[in-house]
Structure 1
Protein backbone atom coordinates (compact mmCIF):
# COMPACT_ATOMS: atom_id res chain seq x y z
CA UNK A 1 0.00 0.00 0.00
CA UNK A 2 1.22 3.52 -0.82
CA UNK A 3 2.31 5.63 2.15
CA UNK A 4 0.02 8.54 1.27
CA UNK A 5 -3.66 7.70 1.58
CA UNK A 6 -6.92 8.84 3.18
CA UNK A 7 -10.35 7.34 3.79
CA UNK A 8 -13.35 8.31 1.65
CA UNK A 9 -16.64 7.83 3.52
CA UNK A 10 -20.25 7.57 2.36
CA UNK A 11 -23.47 6.96 4.31
CA UNK A 12 -26.79 6.01 2.72
CA UNK A 13 -29.92 4.11 3.75
CA UNK A 14 -28.43 3.26 7.14
CA UNK A 15 -25.28 1.77 5.62
CA UNK A 16 -21.68 3.03 5.88
CA UNK A 17 -19.00 2.55 3.22
CA UNK A 18 -15.32 3.43 3.02
CA UNK A 19 -12.60 3.50 0.36
CA UNK A 20 -8.84 3.86 0.74
CA UNK A 21 -7.79 6.52 -1.76
CA UNK A 22 -4.98 8.76 -2.91
CA UNK A 23 -5.84 12.17 -1.36
CA UNK A 24 -4.65 14.37 -4.22
CA UNK A 25 -6.20 12.31 -7.01
CA UNK A 26 -9.45 11.87 -5.05
CA UNK A 27 -9.66 15.64 -4.63
CA UNK A 28 -9.04 16.24 -8.33
CA UNK A 29 -11.76 13.71 -9.16
CA UNK A 30 -14.25 15.53 -6.92
CA UNK A 31 -13.30 18.77 -8.68
CA UNK A 32 -14.33 17.24 -12.01
CA UNK A 33 -11.01 16.19 -13.48
CA UNK A 34 -11.03 13.03 -15.59
CA UNK A 35 -8.89 10.55 -13.69
CA UNK A 36 -8.95 6.77 -13.89
CA UNK A 37 -10.36 5.25 -10.72
CA UNK A 38 -7.49 2.77 -10.78
CA UNK A 39 -5.17 5.73 -10.09
CA UNK A 40 -7.32 6.90 -7.18
CA UNK A 41 -8.02 3.65 -5.36
CA UNK A 42 -5.26 2.33 -3.11
CA UNK A 43 -7.26 -0.85 -2.56
CA UNK A 44 -9.89 -2.39 -4.83
CA UNK A 45 -12.15 -3.12 -1.87
CA UNK A 46 -15.26 -1.44 -0.50
CA UNK A 47 -15.11 -1.44 3.30
CA UNK A 48 -17.52 -0.79 6.14
CA UNK A 49 -14.47 -0.11 8.32
CA UNK A 50 -11.23 0.29 6.39
CA UNK A 51 -8.99 0.61 9.46
CA UNK A 52 -10.22 -2.74 10.77
CA UNK A 53 -10.17 -4.31 7.31
CA UNK A 54 -13.91 -5.09 7.47
CA UNK A 55 -15.37 -5.36 3.98
CA UNK A 56 -18.87 -4.21 3.07
CA UNK A 57 -21.28 -7.06 2.40
CA UNK A 58 -22.67 -7.71 -1.07
CA UNK A 59 -26.15 -7.31 0.43
CA UNK A 60 -25.42 -3.77 1.63
CA UNK A 61 -23.80 -2.84 -1.69
CA UNK A 62 -26.78 -4.08 -3.68
CA UNK A 63 -29.17 -2.35 -1.28
CA UNK A 64 -27.58 1.07 -1.76
CA UNK A 65 -25.86 1.02 -5.15
CA UNK A 66 -27.92 -1.63 -7.00
CA UNK A 67 -24.67 -3.01 -8.43
CA UNK A 68 -21.44 -4.77 -7.44
CA UNK A 69 -19.40 -2.90 -10.06
CA UNK A 70 -16.43 -1.48 -8.14
CA UNK A 71 -16.00 1.49 -10.50
CA UNK A 72 -19.64 2.60 -10.28
CA UNK A 73 -19.67 2.21 -6.50
CA UNK A 74 -16.34 4.00 -6.04
CA UNK A 75 -17.44 6.88 -8.25
CA UNK A 76 -20.58 7.41 -6.17
CA UNK A 77 -18.64 7.27 -2.89
CA UNK A 78 -16.06 9.77 -4.16
CA UNK A 79 -18.54 12.24 -5.64
CA UNK A 80 -21.27 12.08 -2.99
CA UNK A 81 -19.26 11.10 0.07
CA UNK A 82 -16.64 12.88 2.14
CA UNK A 83 -12.89 12.67 1.66
CA UNK A 84 -10.40 13.91 4.23
CA UNK A 85 -8.98 17.13 2.79
CA UNK A 86 -6.11 19.50 3.46
CA UNK A 87 -7.10 23.06 4.41
CA UNK A 88 -6.15 24.23 0.92
CA UNK A 89 -8.22 21.51 -0.78
CA UNK A 90 -11.22 22.23 1.43
CA UNK A 91 -11.03 25.95 0.62
CA UNK A 92 -10.96 25.18 -3.11
CA UNK A 93 -14.11 23.09 -2.75
CA UNK A 94 -15.80 25.85 -0.74
CA UNK A 95 -14.88 28.45 -3.36
CA UNK A 96 -16.24 26.25 -6.15
CA UNK A 97 -19.48 25.59 -4.23
CA UNK A 98 -19.84 29.31 -3.46
CA UNK A 99 -19.66 30.11 -7.20
CA UNK A 100 -22.35 27.51 -7.92
CA UNK A 101 -24.62 28.96 -5.23
CA UNK A 102 -24.11 32.50 -6.55
CA UNK A 103 -24.97 31.32 -10.08
CA UNK A 104 -28.09 29.57 -8.77
CA UNK A 105 -29.30 32.71 -6.95
CA UNK A 106 -28.55 34.95 -9.91
CA UNK A 107 -30.53 32.59 -12.16
CA UNK A 108 -33.54 32.20 -9.88
CA UNK A 109 -33.88 35.51 -8.04
CA UNK A 110 -34.68 39.08 -9.03
CA UNK A 111 -34.60 42.48 -7.38
CA UNK A 112 -38.32 43.21 -6.73
CA UNK A 113 -37.66 46.94 -7.18
CA UNK A 114 -36.46 46.52 -10.76
CA UNK A 115 -37.63 42.98 -11.65
CA UNK A 116 -34.09 42.35 -12.88
CA UNK A 117 -31.53 39.79 -11.63
CA UNK A 118 -28.88 40.92 -9.18
CA UNK A 119 -25.38 40.81 -10.71
CA UNK A 120 -23.31 37.89 -9.37
CA UNK A 121 -20.77 40.33 -7.91
CA UNK A 122 -23.49 41.97 -5.80
CA UNK A 123 -24.66 38.58 -4.54
CA UNK A 124 -21.08 37.59 -3.67
CA UNK A 125 -20.53 40.81 -1.71
CA UNK A 126 -23.78 40.23 0.19
CA UNK A 127 -22.77 36.65 1.06
CA UNK A 128 -19.49 37.96 2.43
CA UNK A 129 -21.35 40.61 4.44
CA UNK A 130 -23.76 38.19 6.14
CA UNK A 131 -20.85 35.80 6.74
CA UNK A 132 -22.80 32.65 5.96
CA UNK A 133 -20.78 29.43 5.99
CA UNK A 134 -20.65 27.31 2.83
CA UNK A 135 -20.54 23.52 3.22
CA UNK A 136 -18.35 22.05 0.44
CA UNK A 137 -20.28 18.75 0.49
CA UNK A 138 -23.88 19.94 0.78
CA UNK A 139 -26.16 20.19 -2.29
CA UNK A 140 -26.07 23.54 -4.07
CA UNK A 141 -29.86 23.85 -4.22
CA UNK A 142 -30.39 23.05 -0.54
CA UNK A 143 -27.71 25.54 0.54
CA UNK A 144 -28.98 28.20 -1.87
CA UNK A 145 -32.34 28.23 -0.08
CA UNK A 146 -30.57 28.88 3.24
CA UNK A 147 -28.34 31.55 1.68
CA UNK A 148 -31.32 33.34 0.11
CA UNK A 149 -33.03 33.54 3.52
CA UNK A 150 -29.88 35.05 5.04
CA UNK A 151 -29.34 37.50 2.17
CA UNK A 152 -32.86 38.90 2.46
CA UNK A 153 -31.78 40.69 5.64
CA UNK A 154 -29.60 43.04 3.55
CA UNK A 155 -30.53 42.46 -0.11
CA UNK A 156 -34.03 42.65 -1.66
CA UNK A 157 -34.64 39.28 -3.30
CA UNK A 158 -37.71 37.80 -4.91
CA UNK A 159 -37.78 34.18 -5.99
CA UNK A 160 -40.15 32.88 -8.67
CA UNK A 161 -41.90 29.99 -6.91
CA UNK A 162 -43.77 26.82 -7.82
CA UNK A 163 -45.53 24.21 -5.70
CA UNK A 164 -44.36 20.60 -6.01
CA UNK A 165 -46.82 17.91 -4.92
CA UNK A 166 -44.97 14.81 -3.78
CA UNK A 167 -46.17 11.32 -2.88
CA UNK A 168 -43.63 8.84 -1.49
CA UNK A 169 -44.15 5.08 -1.03
CA UNK A 170 -43.96 3.68 2.50
CA UNK A 171 -40.57 1.98 2.07
CA UNK A 172 -38.82 5.32 1.39
CA UNK A 173 -41.04 7.74 3.31
CA UNK A 174 -39.35 7.90 6.73
CA UNK A 175 -35.90 8.66 5.28
CA UNK A 176 -36.90 10.76 2.28
CA UNK A 177 -39.49 13.02 3.93
CA UNK A 178 -37.09 15.00 6.18
CA UNK A 179 -34.72 15.62 3.26
CA UNK A 180 -37.44 16.64 0.81
CA UNK A 181 -39.00 18.95 3.40
CA UNK A 182 -35.74 20.91 3.60
CA UNK A 183 -35.48 21.46 -0.17
CA UNK A 184 -37.97 24.32 0.06
CA UNK A 185 -40.80 25.59 2.23
CA UNK A 186 -43.06 22.77 3.37
CA UNK A 187 -46.68 23.84 2.80
CA UNK A 188 -48.55 20.59 3.45
CA UNK A 189 -47.53 17.31 5.08
CA UNK A 190 -49.65 14.20 5.46
CA UNK A 191 -48.70 10.68 6.53
CA UNK A 192 -50.88 8.18 4.69
CA UNK A 193 -52.62 5.14 6.16
CA UNK A 194 -50.31 2.81 4.22
CA UNK A 195 -47.20 4.43 5.77
CA UNK A 196 -46.43 6.58 2.76
CA UNK A 197 -46.08 10.36 2.82
CA UNK A 198 -47.72 13.08 0.78
CA UNK A 199 -46.80 16.74 0.86
CA UNK A 200 -46.49 20.03 -0.95
CA UNK A 201 -43.21 21.93 -1.07
CA UNK A 202 -42.74 25.47 -2.39
CA UNK A 203 -39.51 25.71 -4.36
CA UNK A 204 -37.82 28.22 -6.71
CA UNK A 205 -39.09 27.81 -10.28
CA UNK A 206 -35.55 27.27 -11.51
CA UNK A 207 -35.11 24.34 -9.13
CA UNK A 208 -37.84 22.11 -10.61
CA UNK A 209 -35.50 19.75 -12.48
CA UNK A 210 -33.08 19.46 -9.55
CA UNK A 211 -35.98 18.87 -7.13
CA UNK A 212 -37.49 16.08 -9.23
CA UNK A 213 -34.07 14.46 -9.71
CA UNK A 214 -33.44 14.57 -5.94
CA UNK A 215 -36.83 13.00 -5.15
CA UNK A 216 -36.27 10.28 -7.76
CA UNK A 217 -32.80 9.60 -6.35
CA UNK A 218 -34.18 9.20 -2.83
CA UNK A 219 -36.98 6.89 -3.96
CA UNK A 220 -35.36 5.09 -6.90
CA UNK A 221 -37.90 6.71 -9.22
CA UNK A 222 -40.93 5.36 -7.34
CA UNK A 223 -42.26 8.69 -6.03
CA UNK A 224 -44.90 10.82 -7.73
CA UNK A 225 -44.02 14.48 -8.34
CA UNK A 226 -46.34 17.05 -9.87
CA UNK A 227 -45.60 20.75 -10.40
CA UNK A 228 -48.95 22.45 -9.89
CA UNK A 229 -48.34 26.20 -9.92
CA UNK A 230 -45.94 28.47 -11.75
Structure 2
Protein backbone atom coordinates (compact mmCIF):
# COMPACT_ATOMS: atom_id res chain seq x y z
CA UNK A 1 0.00 0.00 0.00
CA UNK A 2 1.36 3.40 -0.92
CA UNK A 3 2.00 6.05 1.72
CA UNK A 4 0.17 9.34 1.16
CA UNK A 5 2.37 12.39 1.74
CA UNK A 6 0.67 15.06 3.87
CA UNK A 7 3.63 17.02 5.22
CA UNK A 8 3.79 20.82 5.34
CA UNK A 9 5.04 22.83 2.38
CA UNK A 10 8.78 22.75 1.75
CA UNK A 11 10.75 25.96 2.15
CA UNK A 12 12.30 27.68 -0.86
CA UNK A 13 15.78 26.93 0.52
CA UNK A 14 15.03 23.18 0.71
CA UNK A 15 13.24 22.99 -2.65
CA UNK A 16 14.68 21.77 -5.94
CA UNK A 17 13.75 22.79 -9.47
CA UNK A 18 11.44 20.78 -11.71
CA UNK A 19 11.83 22.02 -15.27
CA UNK A 20 10.03 21.55 -18.58
CA UNK A 21 10.89 23.06 -21.97
CA UNK A 22 8.20 23.49 -24.62
CA UNK A 23 9.55 24.87 -27.87
CA UNK A 24 11.69 27.85 -26.92
CA UNK A 25 9.88 28.47 -23.62
CA UNK A 26 11.09 27.25 -20.21
CA UNK A 27 8.89 26.51 -17.22
CA UNK A 28 10.12 25.88 -13.68
CA UNK A 29 8.54 25.11 -10.33
CA UNK A 30 10.13 24.77 -6.87
CA UNK A 31 9.27 21.44 -5.27
CA UNK A 32 10.01 19.17 -2.33
CA UNK A 33 12.55 16.62 -3.69
CA UNK A 34 11.15 13.65 -1.73
CA UNK A 35 7.59 14.28 -2.83
CA UNK A 36 8.55 15.06 -6.43
CA UNK A 37 10.49 11.81 -6.67
CA UNK A 38 7.57 9.92 -5.11
CA UNK A 39 5.28 11.47 -7.73
CA UNK A 40 7.62 10.27 -10.49
CA UNK A 41 7.35 6.76 -9.02
CA UNK A 42 3.57 6.88 -9.32
CA UNK A 43 2.80 7.32 -5.63
CA UNK A 44 -0.11 9.49 -4.45
CA UNK A 45 1.28 12.91 -3.60
CA UNK A 46 -0.32 16.28 -2.91
CA UNK A 47 1.10 18.62 -5.55
CA UNK A 48 -0.16 21.60 -3.58
CA UNK A 49 1.92 20.55 -0.56
CA UNK A 50 4.86 19.71 -2.82
CA UNK A 51 5.21 23.28 -4.11
CA UNK A 52 7.42 25.67 -2.18
CA UNK A 53 5.79 28.59 -4.00
CA UNK A 54 2.47 28.57 -5.81
CA UNK A 55 4.07 30.02 -8.94
CA UNK A 56 5.45 28.91 -12.31
CA UNK A 57 8.69 30.57 -13.40
CA UNK A 58 10.57 30.97 -16.65
CA UNK A 59 13.71 31.38 -14.51
CA UNK A 60 13.30 30.62 -10.82
CA UNK A 61 16.78 31.92 -9.91
CA UNK A 62 15.88 35.35 -11.26
CA UNK A 63 12.32 35.16 -9.95
CA UNK A 64 10.82 35.57 -13.45
CA UNK A 65 7.20 34.42 -13.27
CA UNK A 66 5.13 33.14 -16.19
CA UNK A 67 1.88 35.05 -16.63
CA UNK A 68 -1.48 33.24 -16.41
CA UNK A 69 -2.06 34.19 -20.06
CA UNK A 70 1.11 32.42 -21.19
CA UNK A 71 0.31 29.38 -19.04
CA UNK A 72 -3.12 29.19 -20.67
CA UNK A 73 -1.59 29.48 -24.12
CA UNK A 74 0.99 26.71 -23.62
CA UNK A 75 -0.70 24.32 -21.18
CA UNK A 76 -4.36 24.95 -21.91
CA UNK A 77 -4.90 26.07 -18.32
CA UNK A 78 -3.69 28.82 -16.00
CA UNK A 79 -4.18 26.68 -12.90
CA UNK A 80 -0.76 26.38 -11.25
CA UNK A 81 -1.46 22.94 -9.75
CA UNK A 82 -2.46 21.50 -13.12
CA UNK A 83 0.53 23.11 -14.83
CA UNK A 84 2.83 21.78 -12.09
CA UNK A 85 1.44 18.29 -12.66
CA UNK A 86 2.31 18.51 -16.36
CA UNK A 87 5.80 19.79 -15.58
CA UNK A 88 6.37 16.90 -13.16
CA UNK A 89 4.99 14.30 -15.56
CA UNK A 90 6.93 15.41 -18.63
CA UNK A 91 9.87 17.38 -17.27
CA UNK A 92 13.03 16.78 -15.24
CA UNK A 93 13.75 17.18 -11.53
CA UNK A 94 17.12 18.55 -10.40
CA UNK A 95 17.77 16.24 -7.46
CA UNK A 96 20.51 17.11 -5.00
CA UNK A 97 23.62 14.96 -4.69
CA UNK A 98 22.71 14.04 -1.11
CA UNK A 99 19.19 12.99 -2.12
CA UNK A 100 20.56 10.84 -4.94
CA UNK A 101 23.07 9.20 -2.59
CA UNK A 102 20.39 8.30 -0.03
CA UNK A 103 17.99 7.08 -2.69
CA UNK A 104 20.67 4.92 -4.34
CA UNK A 105 21.39 3.28 -0.97
CA UNK A 106 17.68 2.54 -0.55
CA UNK A 107 17.45 1.07 -4.06
CA UNK A 108 20.56 -1.05 -3.48
CA UNK A 109 18.98 -2.57 -0.35
CA UNK A 110 15.68 -3.13 -2.17
CA UNK A 111 17.50 -4.95 -4.98
CA UNK A 112 19.31 -7.20 -2.49
CA UNK A 113 16.03 -8.00 -0.72
CA UNK A 114 14.29 -8.85 -4.00
CA UNK A 115 17.14 -11.09 -5.14
CA UNK A 116 17.08 -12.86 -1.77
CA UNK A 117 13.38 -13.60 -2.24
CA UNK A 118 13.57 -14.78 -5.85
CA UNK A 119 16.85 -16.72 -6.00
CA UNK A 120 18.86 -19.25 -4.01
CA UNK A 121 22.22 -20.93 -3.50
CA UNK A 122 22.15 -23.94 -5.89
CA UNK A 123 24.29 -25.94 -3.44
CA UNK A 124 22.05 -25.57 -0.39
CA UNK A 125 18.81 -24.54 -2.16
CA UNK A 126 18.43 -21.86 0.49
CA UNK A 127 18.16 -18.13 -0.25
CA UNK A 128 21.20 -15.93 0.19
CA UNK A 129 20.65 -13.35 2.98
CA UNK A 130 20.37 -9.76 1.69
CA UNK A 131 23.61 -8.85 3.52
CA UNK A 132 25.53 -11.49 1.56
CA UNK A 133 24.09 -10.19 -1.70
CA UNK A 134 25.01 -6.62 -0.77
CA UNK A 135 28.59 -7.71 -0.08
CA UNK A 136 28.75 -9.40 -3.49
CA UNK A 137 27.38 -6.25 -5.12
CA UNK A 138 30.14 -4.22 -3.46
CA UNK A 139 32.81 -6.66 -4.66
CA UNK A 140 31.42 -6.58 -8.20
CA UNK A 141 31.36 -2.75 -8.09
CA UNK A 142 27.92 -2.66 -9.63
CA UNK A 143 26.60 0.66 -10.90
CA UNK A 144 23.13 1.20 -9.42
CA UNK A 145 20.82 3.82 -10.95
CA UNK A 146 17.66 5.59 -9.84
CA UNK A 147 15.59 3.30 -12.06
CA UNK A 148 13.07 1.00 -10.31
CA UNK A 149 14.81 -1.85 -8.41
CA UNK A 150 12.90 -4.49 -10.36
CA UNK A 151 14.39 -3.32 -13.66
CA UNK A 152 17.96 -3.72 -12.35
CA UNK A 153 17.75 -7.22 -10.84
CA UNK A 154 18.75 -9.13 -13.98
CA UNK A 155 21.94 -7.11 -14.51
CA UNK A 156 22.88 -7.34 -10.85
CA UNK A 157 22.49 -11.13 -10.81
CA UNK A 158 24.70 -11.43 -13.90
CA UNK A 159 27.36 -9.28 -12.23
CA UNK A 160 27.46 -11.14 -8.90
CA UNK A 161 27.30 -14.70 -10.31
CA UNK A 162 31.12 -15.01 -10.58
CA UNK A 163 31.32 -14.08 -6.89
CA UNK A 164 28.22 -15.75 -5.47
CA UNK A 165 26.69 -19.02 -6.75
CA UNK A 166 23.10 -18.07 -7.47
CA UNK A 167 20.13 -19.59 -9.25
CA UNK A 168 16.86 -17.95 -10.20
CA UNK A 169 15.15 -21.24 -10.96
CA UNK A 170 12.23 -22.13 -8.74
CA UNK A 171 12.67 -25.00 -6.29
CA UNK A 172 10.58 -28.09 -7.05
CA UNK A 173 9.01 -29.88 -4.10
CA UNK A 174 7.01 -33.10 -3.94
CA UNK A 175 4.44 -33.49 -1.16
CA UNK A 176 2.09 -36.18 0.07
CA UNK A 177 -0.56 -34.71 2.37
CA UNK A 178 -2.71 -37.06 4.52
CA UNK A 179 -6.47 -36.83 3.86
CA UNK A 180 -7.34 -35.21 7.20
CA UNK A 181 -5.21 -32.15 6.36
CA UNK A 182 -5.81 -31.65 2.65
CA UNK A 183 -8.53 -28.99 3.05
CA UNK A 184 -6.37 -26.44 4.86
CA UNK A 185 -3.12 -27.54 3.21
CA UNK A 186 -4.47 -27.10 -0.31
CA UNK A 187 -5.18 -23.42 0.31
CA UNK A 188 -1.59 -22.83 1.44
CA UNK A 189 -0.22 -24.79 -1.51
CA UNK A 190 -2.23 -22.71 -3.99
CA UNK A 191 -1.35 -19.38 -2.36
CA UNK A 192 2.42 -19.85 -2.03
CA UNK A 193 3.42 -22.16 -4.89
CA UNK A 194 2.79 -23.05 -8.51
CA UNK A 195 1.19 -26.48 -8.73
CA UNK A 196 2.82 -28.48 -11.53
CA UNK A 197 1.30 -31.90 -10.84
CA UNK A 198 -1.70 -32.77 -8.73
CA UNK A 199 -3.22 -36.14 -7.86
CA UNK A 200 -5.98 -36.96 -5.40
CA UNK A 201 -5.60 -40.53 -4.20
CA UNK A 202 -8.48 -42.87 -3.43
CA UNK A 203 -7.88 -42.55 0.31
CA UNK A 204 -8.32 -38.76 0.06
CA UNK A 205 -4.64 -37.91 0.38
CA UNK A 206 -3.09 -35.33 -1.93
CA UNK A 207 0.05 -35.92 -3.98
CA UNK A 208 1.46 -32.77 -5.58
CA UNK A 209 4.60 -31.47 -7.22
CA UNK A 210 4.99 -27.72 -6.81
CA UNK A 211 7.54 -25.02 -7.58
CA UNK A 212 8.29 -22.19 -5.17
CA UNK A 213 10.69 -19.26 -5.01
CA UNK A 214 13.56 -19.54 -2.56
CA UNK A 215 12.27 -16.65 -0.50
CA UNK A 216 8.93 -18.37 0.10
CA UNK A 217 10.26 -21.88 0.68
CA UNK A 218 10.70 -21.67 4.45
CA UNK A 219 7.37 -19.88 4.91
CA UNK A 220 5.72 -22.64 2.88
CA UNK A 221 7.38 -25.38 4.93
CA UNK A 222 6.43 -23.70 8.20
CA UNK A 223 2.76 -23.35 7.24
CA UNK A 224 2.45 -26.88 5.83
CA UNK A 225 4.12 -28.41 8.88
CA UNK A 226 1.92 -26.34 11.19
CA UNK A 227 -1.28 -27.44 9.45
CA UNK A 228 -0.29 -31.11 9.34
CA UNK A 229 1.53 -31.14 12.70
CA UNK A 230 4.55 -32.42 10.79
CA UNK A 231 2.61 -35.38 9.37
CA UNK A 232 3.46 -34.71 5.73
CA UNK A 233 5.98 -36.18 3.32
CA UNK A 234 8.15 -33.47 1.75
CA UNK A 235 10.89 -34.04 -0.79
CA UNK A 236 12.90 -31.48 -2.74
CA UNK A 237 13.46 -32.63 -6.31
> Which structure shows the higher strand fraction?
1
Shorter-chain TM range is 0.3 to 0.5
Length-normalised TM-score, structure 1: 0.48
